[in-house]
Amino acid sequence: MTIRMLLSRCCHCVLTAFMLFPAGTFADEPRQITVSTLAQLAIASSSDAPAEVVRLNQAPLRAELNARIVAVRAEVGDRVEIDAVLVELDCRDYVARADQATATLAALAAQIDFADYRLERARTLSERNAVAEEALRERESRLARLVAERDGQQAVVGSARLQVDRCSVRAPFAAAVVARPAQLGALASPGTPLVDLLDVDSVEVRARVRRSLLHGLAAAATVTFSDGLGEYSLTRRAVLPEVDPRGDSVELRLRFTDGRAAPGTPGRLVWRSAGLALAPYLVEQREGIPGIFTVVDGHARFVPLPAAQEGRPVAVNLPPETPLVVDGRVGLRDGDPVRIVD
């Protein structure tokens, strides 16, 4: 058979095919798919980030006086209440100084009373021209000097009393004693370590979270700290205004709302979405945009999900009864006719 005859037969077959199957027949053939509702496919959406419990207060208490340690009233491991006396210093010298300053203040007060009396008498006599103007001014000046001395002495008394107060070293907050360097009978000087306190109640969670996850965290239904043994509810306190360029992340501080873990406990910050979410395998890419397929009037409709991240569940803001394409997604395009099969 010649080549011309073969070409003639091929052309005849092509023309016959076009006559039997009009243009568009194959393109319009509905794609067979299976669907399930969003409610059936939804999963719990959660994200997590590394976190740890940090203390807010840790106070190494130190002496502020030159004095001998006469009593130590706290040991390592003790729980102490706020304002509890932990260490006492020999305060006799400081009490004596405070008493002396107080006596000097009392003497000045008596002098002021007498100077005020003499000034009033001088003013009365001045009205009768019985005392010189210069004498009147001298008595006014003396009273003013005494008042100034009294004000200065009041500051001395306040400082002396403060030194007496420093003889008793008190807990600035309810805490646990974690170290006790103070030794009974030792001579302390300003800066000598006495007791180290750890505030076990004032703690919070520190976590580092990628910026892309902050929106989901802000909208989360629950936020917890998990240490592997239990979970504790949290509320966000602050986002530090500094970005770590290595992970495009920021540091968060969160407070416990129901119970608390011990300072230094490592764990995970976990937050769960309030809405519906889908497993990542249901997300398709079309022209570089992630999304899912639903069915509207017998045609596939692509719903973009720009917030979707590879390998993570994605939140979907659609009615729970929305039908989603499960099988038959490969190669499916927006607008393609589809036929749902069981």
pLDDT, tens digit, for every residue of 52-100? 999 988 899 999 999 999 999 999 999 999 999 999 999 999 999 999 9
pLDDT band at 9 (very low <50, low <70, confident <90, very high): low
Mean pLDDT, range 248-255, rounded to an integer: 94
Mean pLDDT, range 259-269, rounded to an integer: 93
Mean pLDDT (the chain, rounded): 87
Q: Which amino acid is at 238?
A: A
CA 230 to chain centre: 20
pLDDT band at 13 (very low <50, low <70, confident <90, very high): very low
Domain 61-89+170-200 listed as CATH 3.55.40.10: no
d(CA 112, CA 110): 5
- Helix or strand (DSSP H, E) at 77: none
Q: Give buried/exposed letters for 173-190 (b at 16+ CB in 10 A, else e).
A: bbbbbeebebeeeeebee
Rounded percentage of the chain residues whose pLDDT exceeds 90: 61
pLDDT exceeds 50 at position 271: yes
Is the pLDDT higher at 154 or at 220?
154
Is the pLDDT higher at 69 or at 133?
69
pLDDT of residue 28: 64
Contact 209, 249 (CB under 8 A): yes
Least confident of 34-43, 129-138, 176-185, 298-307: 129-138
Contact 224, 234 (CB under 8 A): yes
Token readout for 298 is 């017998």
What are the residue boundaries of the structural domains of the chain, listed by start? 26-45+278-340, 46-56+202-274, 61-89+170-200, 92-166
Question: So what CATH class is 26-45+278-340?
Answer: mainly beta
**Domain 46-56+202-274 fold:** Elongation Factor Tu (Ef-tu); domain 3 (2.40.30)
> Are both 26-45+278-340 and 46-56+202-274 of the same fold?
no
Q: What is the DSSP string of 154-193?
A: HHHHHHHHHHHHTTEEE-SSSEEEEE----TTPEE-TT-E
Residues ≥6 apart with Cβ < 8 Å to 41: 278, 279, 282, 324, 326
